[in-house]
Amino acid sequence: MTERVNNFFESKIDSIKGIGPQRAELLNKELAIFTYRDLLQHYPFRYEDRTRFYTISELNENLPAVQLKGRLRDWRIEGEGAKKRLLGTFSDGTGTIELVWFQGIAYFEKFLRRDAEYVVYGKAVAFGSRYSITHPEIDLLTPENEKAGYWQPIYNLTVKLNRRFIDSKVIGKAMRNLLQVAHPHIRETLPAELVQQYRLVSKAEAVWYIHLPSSWEALEQARRRLKFEELFYNQLRLIKNKLLHKTEFPGQIFGAIPSVARFYNDFLPFSLTNAQKRVLREIREDLKSGKQMNRLLQGDVGSGKTIVAFIAMLMAIDNNAQACLMAPTEILADQHYKGLKPFAELLGLNICKLTGSSKKSERKIIHEQLLDGTMHIIVGTHALLEDVVQFKNLGLCIIDEQHRFGVAQRSRLWAKNPVFFPHILVMTATPIPRTLAMTLYGDLDVSVIDEMPAGRKPIKTIHRYDSHRLSVFGFMQDEISKGRQVYVVYPLIEESEKLDLKDLMDGYESVSRAFSDSQISILHGKMKPRDKEFEMERFIKRETQIMVATTVIEVGVNVPNASLMVIESAQRFGLSQLHQLRGRVGRGADQSYCILMSDVKLSRETRTRLDTMCRTNNGFEIADVDLQLRGPGDLAGTQQSGLAGLIIADLAKDGEILKAARASAERILEDDPALQTPKNDPIRLQIENQTNDETNWSRIS
């Protein structure tokens, strides 16, 4: 790696014409813009069409904001107090329009000149036969702005910057001044063959036109180039990490697997689906390859990931290694432990559970047995990451619901074996759209269980308004009278003044009144682990018929007899969460149902969410809709590194660009893993010029 020297793009922004020390200090604090590089990569989020002037006679309400050129004939102040406003009469020879200001009246009184010529920009609204623009942008007519013919970039700014009169025009002028000196320094960062193959504009052109587009076509070309480059370097970094694992990190070789065959033939109580068999073959290939496995296992709720994980554990145990399974909550850890324990005992294997509430006496025995190798499988929470938890030979780590854990936790598990990094299998029941999986988990191999076990009936999902509560209670009673059980889920534990929701305690009381003959459990996040376990056990043993709960039952609760889930205030939940909650029913042979309760007043986005839930049980289809609605950042959580630093690409919209970028990165690294050939010089130089902690390798450098 060449030593990185301070370059042109590390220059401080206070030297740019139009910024200076005071504005620079504000931009430092408000937007973390310190250098030329930071400013150039502060891309506009939209553009205003200033390519033409409209006449007042052309105005209609269907037009977006318009640009007008004319004279300010007069102005006056009307109203008192909050209704006080400045009204201006503006004319261009084809008609007149009223300009209205409620704020900054004193400033505009000083600034405005009668009969002066101005350029006005804003959204025209009709009042009777006359139009008016409220708080228009207004500038004296000059030889420059008289020309029109440009797109005005609009930048993300803060209230404080606006108060100090730093708006998009100020940033735009400073950007033009910077680009005029920076343009010759912006070098090409992609190989010529990629630029030609995808007909991309140069990096220098792209940076110029993203800020100063000469036409809509030029802007689109700039965006396309910058998105491709950003996703290309994102994928290049992830694939290089993946190749590093395969070449640099040897893994224990798990050869013979007699216990797997024994379990399969003698004890497995059901047939595996073809998807489960395919995934097990993929895992088997990894575990005998001599390279460390890093695999993501995606499967919808109830698709049978846990049994796949158990069989993978047997492959490790058959080769004198130990296995651990880490879950994000005690309830989920307990669920896995109880599900795996009978299978482990049939095979004479030692299995234990370690969570935050494990007793000191239990921990002592667990630590000893892990160290001497007599403990084969350990299931737990974050407690597994503690330094005191040491193994004789940890061979396989299974991480459930990966989006709850960061990369740092994964690496702490690696450190549990000083000789070989343990093989890693990451599992998630949160369906991840393909574009997001490529970016979040591009350094992992991906397996998908896309088939449900035989005999599972699709869950019927219905949307009902609060006014239908009596009929919903009637339906609940019908299910209970058939001997089945019901979940009622609330989004909050205690009353909130801000959110008009049916809170848990209020709900518990109303359910108790309506079902006085039934036993009811209650479960929420503020309960002690022991109390949660007690309530959950009562429900599992059918001692209670209704479980009133918050979202703590989102993952891990497996009660095959529960056939109905009622989700209160469903409009408050995201699509992914609704899908996870629904997956708590439909685990037995009976027909199961999910009822989404909501208020009548719903936004368009909320209706889309609820309609999607009623239309499909396909987790991947739901995930795609969720990505369109919420964007990748919300879906990914804050701990993931794969999305870090994306500036311009939008995974909800740029799936095709991402696929092309990934294919290109794979091909280049396959042909030239060290990027040593002359044609890949632009890539190698770009990477060498990044700081060590940079996650977005496409950044200007």
For 646, which DSSP code? -
What's the average model confidence in pLDDT over 482-510?
Answer: 75
Q: Where are the alpha helices (DSSP H) in 455-549?
A: 469-481, 504-514, 529-540
In a domain? residue 375 = yes
Are 239 and 345 members of one domain? no
Number of independent structural domains in the chain = 4
Task: Please state, in angstroms and rounded to a whole number, the distance separating the CA atoms of residues 118 and 489.
Answer: 59
Are 375 and 445 members of one domain? yes
Residues forming beta bridges with residue 102, ordered by sequence position: none
Residue 451 in this model has a pLDDT that exceeds 60: yes
When mean pLDDT is compared across 242-251, 348-357, 398-407, the lowest value belongs to 398-407
In a domain? residue 194 = no
What's the average model confidence in pLDDT over 193-208?
Answer: 97
Stretch (H or E) spanning 464? strand 460-465
Straight-line distance from the first to the last Cα atom of the chain, in angstroms, rounded to the nearest whole number: 15
- Nearest alpha-carbon partner for 308 in 290, 281, 335: 281
Structure tokens at 52: 């033409």
In a domain? residue 698 = no
What's the average model confidence in pLDDT over 338-357?
Answer: 94
Which pLDDT value is given to residue 5?
40
Query: For the whole model, what pTM was predicted?
Result: 0.71
**What is the band of 497 on the pLDDT scale with cuts at 50, 70, 90?**
very low
Which residues contact residue 536 at a Cβ distance below 8 angstroms, ignoring those fewer than 6 apart? 331, 334, 521, 523, 557
List the CATH number of the domain containing 86: 2.40.50.140
* 661 phi and psi angles, rounded to 5 deg: -65, -45
**What is the band of 641 on the pLDDT scale with cuts at 50, 70, 90?**
very low
Which pLDDT value is given to residue 405?
62
Are 385 and 367 members of one domain? yes
Residue 493 in this model has a pLDDT that exceeds 70: no
3-class secondary structure, 691: coil
Are 265 and 212 members of one domain? no
Are 529 and 397 members of one domain? no
Task: Please state, in angstroms and rounded to a whole number, the distance separating the CA atoms of residues 180 and 586.
Answer: 63
Which pLDDT value is given to residue 496?
56
CA distances from 30 to 33, 174, 635 (A): 8, 17, 26
What's the average model confidence in pLDDT over 308-321?
Answer: 96
Q: Which residue has the tokens 């200007």?
A: 700
What's the average model confidence in pLDDT over 606-635?
Answer: 81
Structure tokens at 315: 């492959």
Greater confidence (681 vs 491) lies with 681
Are 106 and 208 members of one domain? no
Residue 177 in this model has a pLDDT that exceeds 90: yes
Residue 635 in this model has a pLDDT that exceeds 50: no
**What is the band of 34 on the pLDDT scale with cuts at 50, 70, 90?**
very high
In a domain? residue 179 = no
Check if the beta carbon of residue 501 is closer than 8 Å to that of residue 569.
yes
- Nearest alpha-carbon partner for 9 in 184, 220, 241, 254: 184
Average pLDDT, the chain: 88
Greater confidence (554 vs 251) lies with 251
When mean pLDDT is compared across 56-60, 371-375, 630-634, the lowest value belongs to 630-634
What range does the domain containing 372 cover? Answer: 258-449
Which pLDDT value is given to residue 618?
81
Which pLDDT value is given to residue 436?
73
What's the average model confidence in pLDDT over 29-33?
Answer: 95
Are 528 and 490 members of one domain? yes
3-class secondary structure, 137: strand
Which pLDDT value is given to residue 556?
52
**What is the band of 651 on the pLDDT scale with cuts at 50, 70, 90?**
confident
Residue 681 in this model has a pLDDT that exceeds 90: yes
- Nearest alpha-carbon partner for 312 in 350, 271, 277: 277
Which pLDDT value is given to residue 555?
53
In a domain? residue 156 = no
**What is the band of 3 on the pLDDT scale with cuts at 50, 70, 90?**
very low
- Nearest alpha-carbon partner for 388 in 370, 406, 408: 370
List the CATH number of the domain containing 534: 3.40.50.300
Could you say which of 127, 145, 163 is where a domain stops?
Answer: 145
Structure tokens at 314: 């047997």
Could you say which of 428, 449, 470 is where a domain stops?
Answer: 449
Greater confidence (336 vs 432) lies with 336
Are 274 and 371 members of one domain? yes
Structure tokens at 563: 């056939």
Which pLDDT value is given to residue 201?
97
Residue 277 in this model has a pLDDT that exceeds 70: yes
In a domain? residue 517 = yes
Beta strand segments in 123-273, E: 124-127, 130-134, 137-140, 150-154
Are 228 and 285 members of one domain? no
What's the average model confidence in pLDDT over 634-652?
Answer: 59
Are 362 and 403 members of one domain? yes
**What is the band of 242 on the pLDDT scale with cuts at 50, 70, 90?**
confident
In a domain? residue 14 = no
Could you say which of 599, 616, 633 is where a domain stops?
Answer: 616
3-class secondary structure, 326: strand
Task: Please state, in angstroms and rounded to a whole number, the distance separating the CA atoms of residues 87 and 78.
Answer: 7
Are 215 and 301 members of one domain? no
Which pLDDT value is given to residue 123?
93
Residue 352 in this model has a pLDDT that exceeds 80: yes
Which pLDDT value is given to residue 506?
85
Residue 282 in this model has a pLDDT that exceeds 70: yes
Which pLDDT value is given to residue 574?
86
Are 683 and 557 members of one domain? no
Which residues contact residue 533 at a Cβ distance below 8 angstroms, ignoring those fewer than 6 apart? 331, 334
Helices 330-346 and 529-540: crossing angle in degrees, nearest 10, is 60
**What is the band of 495 on the pLDDT scale with cuts at 50, 70, 90?**
low
What's the average model confidence in pLDDT over 181-206?
Answer: 96
The residue count of the chain comes to: 701
Helices 305-317 and 274-287: crossing angle in degrees, nearest 10, is 30
Residue 2 in this model has a pLDDT that exceeds 50: no
When mean pLDDT is compared across 237-251, 308-322, 360-374, 405-419, the lowest value belongs to 405-419
Residue 450 in this model has a pLDDT that exceeds 60: yes
What's the average model confidence in pLDDT over 606-627?
Answer: 88
Task: Please state, in angstroms and rounded to a whole number, the distance separating the CA atoms of residues 135 and 157.
Answer: 18
What's the average model confidence in pLDDT over 33-57?
Answer: 93
Is the C-alpha dihedral spanning 319, 240, 223, 155 positive or negative? Answer: positive
In a domain? residue 489 = yes
Structure tokens at 287: 């575990």
Which pLDDT value is given to residue 631?
63
Distance of CA 201 to the CA centre of its chain: 30
Residues forming beta bridges with residue 424, ordered by sequence position: 294, 397
